[in-house]
Amino acid sequence: MATIHRFVVVPAIPEKLDALNELAVNVWSLWNYEAVNLFNRLDPDLWEQTNHNPVRLLNLVGQDKLKAAAEDEGFLSHLSRVANLFHSYISQPTWFSINYPESKAVFAYFSAEYGLHESLPIYSGGLGVLSGDHLKSASELGLPLVGVGLLYREGYFHQYLNGDGWQQERNPENDFFAMPIKPAIGPDGKQVVIQVEYPHGLVHAAIWKVNVGRVSLYLMDTNRPENRPEDRAITARLYGGDQDMRIRQEILLGIGGTRALAALGIKPTVCHMNEGHSAFLALERTAVLMEQDKLTFAQAREIIASSNVFTTHTPVPAGNDFFPRDMIEHYFANFHDRLKISREEFLALGRVNAEDPHESFGMTVLALRMAWHCNGVSALHGLVSQRMWQRIWPEVPPHEIPITSITNGVHTQSWLSEGFARLYQEYLGAKWSDRPADHTVWARTNRIPDSELWRTHERRKERLIDFARQRMKDMLSRQGNMIQELQRIDEILDPKVLTIGFARRFATYKRATLLMRNPDRLMKLLKDNNRPIQFIFAGKAHPRDDGGKRYIQDIVRFCQREDVRTRMVFIEDYDMNIARHMTQGVDVWLNTPRRPMEASGTSGMKAAINGVLNLSVLDGWWCEAYNGENGWAIGNGEEYSNDDYQDEMESRNLFELLEKSVIPTYYDRGLDGLPRHWIRRMKNSIQTICPTFNTNRMVQQYCQSFYLSGHEMFEGLTENANSRGTALAAWKKELTDQWPLVKIRSVDAPLQAALKTGDSMKVTAVVELGAINPQHVRVEIYYGQTDPSGDISDPRSHEMALGAVLEKGVYQYVGALNAAVCGQQGFALRVLPDHPDIELRLEPRLIRWG
């Protein structure tokens, strides 16, 4: 075949419309409704057909329409206004620049998927959308942050349903030159290409750049002519292929992503691993530092771990990536040589029990071992994660396992309807959007007249129903239904009826069919002529999840019943566009996960910013958000050992809430037709949820809790030719070698039958430290009330003072225990390492209990 010489054709935009080119390639234009309206104004039908893709729109729009726009004073004025808004956004001072003007920090955020917009289909669901919202808020706060990921040629699958309601998948290819994305250009004027070693040889990956406001996202693409076909497929599909493909993608993400930043001249001081997919970056960063500064693995590991952040999103062990030993040995045959450690030491980095040679290699385990800053994504998930990974820290009580929590949020501007945005601008203040995490701003929600709030919501509901009808027509038309059937679509759904939405990934634990455990009770609600309800469902099941597919089929079949079809619909091919319509238009957002398997969840947050009320199991974020007046809770946070019993009990509770509270409150109208009690709940929901559950608060929390401290640790440990880092590694090795000799020889406390509140009990202990300097340990009294099993619940700790040297390596420690609380009490003594550069109580196997 002849050699094909490639070139790119770009649209001939009139000079007066030049600003459109700049706006089209920055995702800011897709979360600013003024900019969205501008592109929609060029050609509304084409805007919908291109899935709201500004680059593709400009590629396809007719020259006659561009010429007309260039001569339209109204359009030019609109363009000028949006361009000025964009330039003002980019140039204005930010939270970070104001508070940390001298900072030299650079933060790199790694994720396997990014849900920035439906026109960039390189995401599958909640994890990707969170990553996209993280970058958007990093832009708004002005963080010196870059994103790193993979550019999937086919993205995630598109869903379509056959006539029987069974999910089918198709994978159309993305055209990168018709998306808001550009090649990342190096100093030589060419697209940057990096190389990653695989067992068979080098794999080349081109780097692409997405502008996300002030933030850059860099994505790697292996669809290169110099690669073998199987290597070109590495970035073909998100979560596609088998376990072998998964490890190849994760090598590219972690190791290749680190090299991509280096090739671009970006030197991050902190790296954030969003889920375990990118954990190999910790190994590459360590190896690079060793080679660059001639350090040992132990020395480089301390420095790198101090500046790594890891966020886990999975509340069950099975949801984490584990690779068999032989696969790791195949792909990392020589990497341990590069790190100058043995093969077993390398494999131990990914084992829960480092000494078990038969254990698989876990990406989450690797990330936990190689990051000092670890968190779950809700308060409950933080506790679940501590219990789930306690075996890595076998001597540490669960509540002290070094996994904290930062609860997820959503990017307010991306999910807020235009109608509500205008309402907030009028009543919360013109600059409200600059302070989305300010509770005083959202307290002004009470200023919004009930009638305006309700009419704005009703208009969004009408738009949702029009949208749902059109999607149903498209689906039925594709399935070959008769014209008469298509005409009947206009009968489905009623804007005046209480509308409940359920849309998310169709994993079985999310229990999409919980309502159908009692179909008769459900039918009674659907067919009630006085106070009816209706449902809109959407969501995808993983291609290999037949259980999730059966849930979809069960719902679709139920929707197809003649006595149900006007009151319940399933919209196929769930994406961010459908999510926006639903979270902006339904009355109630339903969430029914099996607690505690929902790590956080964010769809209900998106609904709340649009005045939609949540009806959810107390799991994930809803545990923190629910206050009794801002929505409804299914159950009381119970956890069951029998899934079927749990489903039955919570299904009954859900029906009782609908019958006795949700439906009566919605239909309780005054003479003016307004549901005043419902509106009061809407305002309570907006006031309590919006300022807390947004990504501006979340990213600011990551920055203040993890990023800045990680940067400071990295800078401190690497200063003066890594002197502090090498000293820390030497201290830790000496401590680890001597730790087996540490022993609490005796404890003396004058135990009495009972102490009175306020009394103090003196505690002394004799502790053997061997060759360890007493300044390098901390001896603590660990105490509190005891539970029925005899364990200390709600524990506290109090450091004991060094009293006397009894003999060489043997010391007396003195402390006091105050009786502040009545009831059965208990205490224990423990010895922990102590060092100014790190709180080493987080280290596995470096704790000694008496």
Of 305-319, 473-487, 660-674, minimum mean pLDDT range: 473-487
pLDDT computed for residue 59 by the predictor: 95
What average pLDDT does range 27-38 have in this prediction?
A: 97
User: Residue 149 in contact with residue 219, Cβ under 8 Å?
Assistant: yes
pLDDT computed for residue 753 by the predictor: 61
Of 152-161, 348-357, 687-696, 819-828, minimum mean pLDDT range: 819-828
20 token code pair:
């459109």
- Interval 671-710: pLDDT, tens: 999 999 999 999 999 999 999 999 999 999 999 999 999 9
φ, ψ dihedrals at 64, nearest 5°:
-65, -40
1 pLDDT above the threshold of 60: no
Give 73-80 contacts, CB < 8 A, sequence gap 24+.
75/38, 75/41, 76/16, 78/34, 78/37, 78/38, 78/41, 79/17, 79/19, 79/20, 79/38, 80/19
Q: Which of 772, 790, 801 is nearest to 828 (CA)?
A: 790
Query: Residue type at 764?
Result: T
- Interval 246-266: pLDDT, tens: 999 999 999 999 999 999 999
How high is the mean pLDDT of the chain?
94
SS (H, E, C) 106-164: CEEEECCCECCCCCCCECCCHHHHHHHHHHHHHHHHCCCEEEEEECCCCCCCEEEECCC
How far apart CA 441 and CA 270 sit, in angstroms, is 32
pTM: 0.96
What average pLDDT does range 76-84 have in this prediction?
A: 98
From residue 152, alpha-carbon distances to 60, 128, 205, 486 in Å are: 23, 13, 12, 35
What average pLDDT does range 359-367 have in this prediction?
A: 97
pLDDT computed for residue 556 by the predictor: 96
What average pLDDT does range 196-211 have in this prediction?
A: 97
The radius of gyration computed from the CA coordinates of the chain, to the nearest angstrom, equals 29
**Residues in a beta bridge with 185:** 191
pLDDT computed for residue 322 by the predictor: 96
620 token code pair:
């994930």
Tell me the angle at which helices 63-70 and 33-42 cross, rounded to the nearest 10 degrees.
120
Query: What is the H or E stretch that residue 643 is in?
Result: helix 643-657
> Considering the chain, what percentage of its residues have pLDDT values greater than 70?
98
- Interval 115-140: pLDDT, tens: 999 999 999 989 999 999 999 999 99
421 token code pair:
């945005």
* pLDDT classification of 7: cutoffs 50, 70, 90: low
- Write down the H helix ranges in 690-804: 695-702, 708-738
Higher pLDDT among residues 341 and 752, named by residue: 341
307 pLDDT above the threshold of 90: yes
Of 298-312, 505-519, 829-843, minimum mean pLDDT range: 829-843
Q: Which of 139, 151, 183 is nearest to 28 (CA)?
A: 139
Query: Residue type at 304?
Result: I
pLDDT computed for residue 842 by the predictor: 67
What average pLDDT does range 752-779 have in this prediction?
A: 87
